[in-house]
Chain A
Amino acid sequence: MTPNPFNLPDLGEGLTEAILRSWHVKAGDKIKKDTVICTVETDKSLVDIPALEDCAVIQLCINENQRIAVGEPLCQLHYPDSVSLVGKLSEAIKSQVAQPTFLNLKIHPEALNLAKSHHLSEAVLQSLVPTGQLIRPADIQNYLWANSSSTMAKIATESLQRPTSTIIDHCPIYSTHQISAISISAIYQSLQIHLPLKLSTISMAVDDQAHTHIISAEFSEHIDKNQATLNDIKAAIILGKIPQAWLKKSDVLISNFGSIAGRYGMPILPPETKVAIGIGRSFIENTQAVLPLTMVFDHSIFTGGQMARLLKTIMDTLSEQSQHVCLG
């Protein structure tokens, strides 16, 4: 027989004690679930207390008319085939052993969880903010972004520091044949008209399975040459061998990855890039095939008007060239 204490439960109204008025069982009794064990009187009312399970009464712990506090044992019961509740409880407590905390740091609870999950040391955390200032989740996020090996994470972080602006338009097209090469050609020609940038500094963002590479290959106004260069880039990416000469910083970045709804580019600028042009997936708009273009630019360098004119020229050129391809 395993004795389990059967304690006076919380009987409501915030009352903390009761008087045991009468026992309805005695030691040795085998009782069924819901059998009334005893009647207690609180300041508010008389309450019958039933058994919660089939059980045997081992011992009564208090006498009639004696006062008892909530949580103190009324009697000892044996539950057949049961695991000792005490055993379960200690297991539960063991699993809740608290993790070490950074007791000297003034830190937001969510920041603390983040720091622990990334195994950041106390010294690192302390370096994030001036002494005595609260370390917030954003401080840890910034640290993690800045120290991340992910190119995109770095790009996003730096982009946040700059005053960027984004314009979007849909360019009518008449063929999707060689559309990437045509787009590059159109952008190349439009830049010559509008921006005093070195033409060699156009780059492309290309994804492999793990990373995004920014590749500064030689592009020109010739569609076929651009197509050949694109093929070279694809091959290099598949082989995993990207020539060092391609890994240069650039002023203008072209991305064919429409990350927002498959159409629009992310409004972020990679480091030292002044303009990023996103070319999304073409779609039909009012019976006309269009190419969604996203232009993100550093607003501290260019005005909105300048960039709107650039985008207009790109669209006109692109539209016209796709028509030529279509007509053969």
Chain B
Amino acid sequence: MHKPDHQTACMHMVQALNQALYDEMSADETTLIAGQDIGRLGGVFRVTQNLLDHFGPNRVIDTPISETFQAGFGIGLATAGLRPIIEFQFLAFMHSALDQMIAHASRLRHRTRGQLKCPLVYRAPYGSGVHAPEHHSESTESLFSHIPGLKVIIPSTPSLAYHLLRQAIQSDDPVVFLEPTKLYRIKQEPNQRPPKLGEVYIHREGTDATIFTWGAMTYEALQVAKIYETQYQIKLMVVDVSTLNPLDEIGILQAAKASGRILILHEASAKGAVGNDIYYLIHRHLNINAKYMRQLGAPNTICPYYQNEHLFAPNQQSIMSAINEILL
């Protein structure tokens, strides 16, 4: 566990998530966590480290190696009045639990006319750029965003991770909470304002162009924005979409309007993706000329192994090229 001054200290995302779990479990006795190796080991990435010692085996539960079981176990606990937080070791392993998530968790409230609710969080690390095998590197957030009833949250900084995870746990509906592995160990200063689940988070104001992004790409976008400000006096607004389902349409349109030049930046392939929804939303409502809009994502292929990984997801160079185009 980390120090009580976590809201001001410079920490990395694993520490922030661990702190959020600790604080929320301390505040609400109905919360519990379950997942593979999360107890004694503290999870693959140590997000749940030391929680077993504090909250005991009834609230920190090591599960068998069965993602379908984990997902269904969470639904059972949630409908019985608890607030489970289920850890999957990697996003790709969540795919085998899709049936439980889509056919049950997402629609229990609807199916029972509100008699049952499903307050649970499915957590998993995700994303490329960490020299990991392809099934540790995926960005399939759009799969989940397509499902009505599932909230999809992706934090981009330690303090956003802290606040958004706590709000996700407090949500009465199921949340898929995806954590960018690439940012797990990068220490960052805390954000000045707390984020709000369901709303975009503006990391940086600017009127020359607006970047809509989430997850690890937010970090890249912020680096690029710093370069443009110091070297070219160009101010880029960096908008962390952060809640992918439901989309904060009003927040997105307001931010888009500020510059009228738009880059939608994500790590996932653009095929059938949330990025397209954002593009269409902006285009339909603001009627911005296509030459001032770009969308940047990975090609629609499997993430390559590490020697070619730099060719896959957008990087600072490709982001800058896209920005240069929309600024012409």
Contacts and interface: CB of A to CB of B under 8 A. Distances in A.
Interface in B178-194: 181-185
Give the bracket for the number of chain A residues in contact with chain B: 20 to 34
Contacts of B320: 109
Interface in B281-319: 306
Interface stretch (B80-88, B110-118, B130-138, B152-160): B130-138
Of A14, A16, A44, A105, most B-chain CB atoms within 10 Å:
A14
B98 to A, nearest CB: 24
B136 A107 contact: no
Contacts of A107: 232-234
Contact of A109 (B130, B183, B230, B232): B232
B132 A106 contact: no
A43 B181 CA distance: 13
B220 interface: no
Interface in B211-234: 228, 230-234
A12 B136 CA distance: 10
Contacts of A138: 328
B306 A12 contact: yes
A108 B44 CA distance: 44
Contact of B45 (A43, A105, A109): A43
B234 A14 contact: no
Contacts of B136: 13
Interface of B is mostly: loop
A112 interface: yes
A176 B233 CA distance: 61
A136 B185 CA distance: 39
B324 A109 contact: yes
Contact of A108 (B130, B132, B232, B306): B232
A110 interface: yes
Contacts of B183: 14
B184 A14 contact: yes
A44 B183 CA distance: 17
Nearest to A106: B233
B143 interface: no
Nearest to B49: A43
A12 B185 CA distance: 12
A117 to B, nearest CB: 16
B291 to A, nearest CB: 13
A103 B208 CA distance: 17
B9 interface: no
Interface in A1-58: 10-16, 43-44
Contacts of B228: 109
A43 B44 contact: yes
Interface string A65-98: 0000000000000000000000000000000000
B185 A16 contact: yes
Given A13-B130, A13-B131, A105-B233, A134 B185 contact: no
Contacts of A12: 130-132, 306
B181 A136 contact: no
A287 interface: no
A15 B185 contact: yes
Contacts of B306: 12
A39 B231 CA distance: 44
B328 A136 contact: yes
Contacts of B181: 13-14
B81 to A, nearest CB: 34
B46 interface: yes
Interface string A100-129: 010111111110100000000000000000
B328 A106 contact: no
A37 to B, nearest CB: 19
Contacts of B131: 10-13
Nearest to B327: A108
B94 to A, nearest CB: 17
B132 A13 contact: yes
Interface string A166-197: 00000000000000000000000000000000
A258 interface: no
A134 B228 CA distance: 12
B51 to A, nearest CB: 16
Which 6 pairs show the lowest CB-CB distances between chains A and B? A106-B233, A14-B130, A12-B131, A16-B185, A14-B181, A13-B132
Interface of A: 10-16, 43-44, 101, 103-110, 112, 134, 136-138
24 contacts: A10-B131, A13-B131, A13-B132, A13-B136, A13-B181, A14-B181, A14-B182, A14-B183, A14-B184, A15-B185, A16-B185, A43-B44, A43-B45, A103-B231, A105-B232, A105-B233, A106-B233, A108-B328, A109-B231, A109-B232, A110-B328, A112-B232, A134-B208, A137-B328
Given A11-B131, A43-B45, A137-B328, 14 more contacts: A14-B130, A14-B184, A101-B231, A103-B230, A105-B233, A107-B233, A107-B234, A108-B324, A108-B328, A109-B231, A109-B232, A109-B320, A134-B234, A136-B328
